[in-house]
Amino acid sequence: MDWNTFRRLSLKTRVALFTLVIFVISIWSLAFYASRILREDMQTQIGEQLFSTATFAAAQVNEELDYRFRALGQIAAEVTPAMLDNTVTLQRLLEQYPLLLLLFNGGVVAVGPDGIAIADVPVSSGRTSINYMGNEWISAALKEGKSTISRPIMGKALHAPIFSMTVPIRDSQGKVIGALGGVVNLGKPNFLDKITQGRFGKTGAYLLNAPQYRVIVTASDKTRIMQPLPAPGVNKMLDRYIQGFEGYGITVDSRGVEMLNSAKGIPVAGWFLAVVMPTEEAFAPIRDTLRHIAVGTIFLTLLACGLIWLLMWRMLRRQLSPMIAATKTLSALSESNHPLQPLPITSRDEIGELIAGFNRLLETLAAREKALREREARYRSIVETSLDGFWVLDTNGRILEVNDRYLRRSGYSREELLGLSLFDIDATRTKENINGVLVKAGNWIGEVWHRAKDGGVWPLEISSVCLPSESGRRYAFLRDISERKRNEQELKRSAETLRAVMSQLTIVEEQERRAIAIDLHDDLSQLLTAANIKLGSLPKPNDSVDYGQALREVADLVKQAERSVRSLSFQISPPQLFDLGLVPALEALARELQKVHKLTAIVHDDGKPKDLTPTVRSVLYRATRELLINVAKHAKVEVAHVDVRSDDGLLVIAVTDSGVGFDKRLVEKHTPGAGFGLVSMRERLRLIGGQFDIDTHPGDGTVATLAVPLAVH
């Protein structure tokens, strides 16, 4: 059954089916959980038994191997260098210990330092004169003095699977002079059979493994002697045992049979003993239990299906009858034009509460609908009485709604305008810009020009908002700003006129100052000079007439007047400025500042031509003089530098000092009483097309830069 079919069923049928599904899933989940728990408990119990058996058997093997090493060591301690030279004596020594043949069913062999067998029991094995130096366990005993257990191999003399245990023979100084080895024939009954021939359960078995060689030493199944173990990665549990893990687990053997196995290490040989048992036998006791659980689960499932379907369906039918009646009532009301009425409540249960909640919802909806109608009426009143235009656009820029104010200004009728889009009436913005505004969420405020029906255009200020909840519609108020634009143009023209007047006034001011300076120099200064000469030519005073003191005082006053006039003339407009140029005037200014203010001003000129009008020269001279006087008064230094250079069509004058500096933000903010001269200086330069910049910080000195175009006339 697909989901759509399920949804078409009645509610009571769906609830009954849903309850049934939950019950079936629950009971089968419980059965599955119980079977898993039983299996895990059985696995833990049997695994611990396997590990206990493996531990006991491994301890026996380890003890047997250790006992044989000690036996070989005791006999090797009795061998002397003389015995190694006399093979008969050595042979007799070995034959004195018949226990060796009980410990090693493959016999015992003694080899000299060259690896050649020199004595052997039993003699019938025929191992004397065989060179065993190629065997790594013999070589380890002779060269390294180690006691070793070999890997299982096919014996040269016995022609059967064997492994040997070898100990070194040492002289009285501890030097290795030979080796004594005991051989265990795995093809015949041996001490390991007492362990491996046992059985764990009916089909369980033992395996003695040499992990360093990845080979089986012996097993309950003799055919597996010397068989290689699976390669790394094939049997993960075996890989864990080889890496030193001791415990139990489940794995699949090379024959594809799932096995419960356990392993315990044998320290003397570096081997481990494994006990394996097929899981089929291990978990046989719980198989019948699981079968009974499955049968019981099936029976309970069928029983539950019948009971749930019968009882739940009938109960739901009775409980849902009020809701079914309410549904039919709503359906009848929806098919007629009657207003919605509260539904009757026949019960006080959850369904009754649901119907009561629905009735409250009807009341809330009615109140909201009334409030919505009132808000819509207010909205219409505001839009229609607004002094600004108003419209509503869709996401494609089509006009959906417009008020009468915009209709009167544009000249369109409502029917004509509602058929147009924003692209038809916007006179300035590109299609890309308009699309960008339409898709932009949130508020947008800007100025545009619209085209009226008669082709004329007029400016508008738009304030709009895009509401995502209204499917991306944009609501906008449009204010006619034609009058404001006209006022801005008038203000701009007035400002330009005022700027021109101020420029002309500056020129006239400079001309008047120059005329005053000429008059002072040519008239008053010459007259005072002549008066001084005449007074100096008077005859010397005699005893009868004493006017010398008075004349001297007059002469001093005349000289002071002359100096004052010259100084005034120099300050207002020095003659050098117009006769010799800007740089000589600045050099003369430097000499005057040295006399009056004790400030050494060093003028640097790049030597390039500096073609300037008299007005520009006068403004630059006055600005430089004001900057240097500021340095003398406030910078607290004795030296200032004036750099004059031509740079890319500009005349640049830089006045630099290393004095105390100041906070230029006071000048930029036009703080009252702070930097008024600098502000007026910037304004005078701007009137002649120049610029003024100042770089200073408290304690870091000051660099003031004046720049005017050389092409200004």
pLDDT in tens, 365-385: 777 877 777 777 776 776 667
Q: What is the pLDDT of residues 145-177, one digit of tens each?
A: 888 998 888 877 778 898 989 999 998 888 999
What Cα–Cα distance (Å) separates residue 639 from each residue in 265, 324, 496, 590, 596?
98, 105, 42, 11, 14
Given this model, what pLDDT does residue 337 score? 63
Q: What is the pLDDT of residues 402-431, one digit of tens each?
A: 888 888 888 888 888 887 877 778 877 766
Q: What is the pLDDT of residues 503-519, one digit of tens each?
A: 655 665 665 566 566 65
CA nearest 276: which of 203, 352, 378, 177?
A: 203
Vertex 191 angle, CA 189 and 192, to 5°: 90
Per the CB < 8 A criterion, the answer to whether 182 and 164 are in contact is: yes
Name the 3-class secondary structure at 581. Answer: coil
CA nearest 450: which of 387, 492, 497, 407?
A: 407
Q: Residue 610 corresponds to which amino acid?
A: K
**SS3 letters across 454-508:** CCCEEEEEEEEEEEHHHCCEEEEEEEECHHHHHHHHHHHHHHHHHHHHHHHHHHH
Per the CB < 8 A criterion, the answer to whether 583 and 616 are in contact is: no
Q: What is the pLDDT of residues 231-268, one digit of tens each?
A: 888 888 888 998 989 998 888 877 778 888 899 999 99
Strands 639-647, 600-605: pairing is: parallel
Name the 3-class secondary structure at 154. Answer: strand
Q: What is the pLDDT of residues 208-230, one digit of tens each?
A: 999 988 999 998 888 888 889 88
Burial class of residue 266 (count of CB atoms within 10 Å of its CB; 0-12, 13-18, 19+): buried
Average pLDDT of the residues in 599-618: 86
Which letter does DSSP use for residue 223 in this model? G
Please give the Cα distance from 392 to 409 (Å, whole number).
17
Higher pLDDT, 358 or 208: 208
**3-state DSSP percent of the chain in helix, strand and coil, to 5:** 55, 20, 25
Q: Which helix (H) or strand (E) element contains residue 516?
A: helix 482-519
**In the block, which residue shows the tokens 């300076």?**
517
Q: Residue 174 corresponds to which amino acid?
A: G
CB count in 10 Å sphere of residue 48: 13
CA gyration radius for the chain?
Answer: 60
Dihedral angle of Cα 673, 677, 680, 682, to the nearest 10 degrees: -120
Would you state the CATH architecture of domain 79-185? Answer: 2-Layer Sandwich (3.30)
Confidence band for 328, pLDDT divided at 50, 70 and 90 = low
Q: Residue 407 corresponds to which amino acid?
A: L
Average pLDDT of the residues in 110-124: 87
Domain boundaries, the chain: 79-185, 324-372, 386-480, 481-573, 574-709
Which letter does DSSP use for residue 512 in this model? H
Task: Assign domain 574-709 to a CATH class.
Answer: alpha beta
Note if the bond before 278 is cis, omega within 30 degrees. no
475 pairs with which residues across the strands?
392, 465
Please give the Cα distance from 118 to 116 (Å, whole number).
6
Confidence band for 399, pLDDT divided at 50, 70 and 90 = confident
Name the 3-class secondary structure at 277. Answer: strand
Tokens of residue 486, six digits: 């006209």
Dihedral angle of Cα 126, 132, 137, 138, to the nearest 10 degrees: 100
Q: What is the pLDDT of residues 466-499, one digit of tens each?
A: 776 666 677 888 888 888 888 888 888 767 766 7
Q: Which of 66-75, 218-227, 535-544 has the lowest mean pLDDT?
A: 535-544
Name the 3-class secondary structure at 249. Answer: strand
Of the ranges 19-33, 188-202, 233-247, 291-305, the best mean pLDDT one: 233-247
Given this model, what pLDDT does residue 262 score? 92
Confidence band for 66, pLDDT divided at 50, 70 and 90 = very high
Note if the bond before 709 is cis, omega within 30 degrees. no
Please give the Cα distance from 406 to 413 (Å, whole number).
10
Please give the Cα distance from 101 to 122 (Å, whole number).
8
Which letter does DSSP use for residue 178 in this model? E
Confidence band for 713, pLDDT divided at 50, 70 and 90 = very low
Q: Which helix (H) or strand (E) element contains residue 510?
A: helix 482-519
Tokens of residue 86, six digits: 């006399």
Q: Which helix (H) or strand (E) element contains residue 562?
A: helix 548-572
- Res 672 pLDDT > 50: no
CB count in 10 Å sphere of residue 183: 23
Confidence band for 655, pLDDT divided at 50, 70 and 90 = very high
Matching fold, domains 79-185 and 386-480: yes
Given this model, what pLDDT does residue 20 score? 72
* Half-sphere exposure of residue 226: CA atoms within 13 angstroms, side-chain side: 13
CB count in 10 Å sphere of residue 484: 13
Mean pLDDT, all residues of the chain: 78
Average pLDDT of the residues in 68-80: 90
Which letter does DSSP use for residue 409 in this model? H
Please give the Cα distance from 24 to 40 (Å, whole number).
24
Vertex 275 angle, CA 274 and 278, to 5°: 130
Q: Which fold has domain 386-480?
A: Beta-Lactamase (3.30.450)
Please give the Cα distance from 93 to 110 (Å, whole number).
11
Tokens of residue 300, six digits: 């309970």
Angle between helical axes of 350-385 and 321-335 (0-180°, round to 10): 30
Please give the Cα distance from 262 to 256 (Å, whole number).
18
Alpha carbon 540 to chain centroid, angstroms:
103
Helices (H) then strands (E): counts for the chain: 24, 21
Given this model, what pLDDT does residue 697 score? 86
DSSP string, 182-212: EEEETTS--TTHHHHT--STTT-EEEEEETT
Percent of the chain scoring above 70 in pLDDT: 73
Average pLDDT of the residues in 48-76: 90
Rounded to a whole number of angstroms, the distance between the first and last alpha carbons of the chain is 97
**In the block, which residue shows the tokens 């770089």?**
695
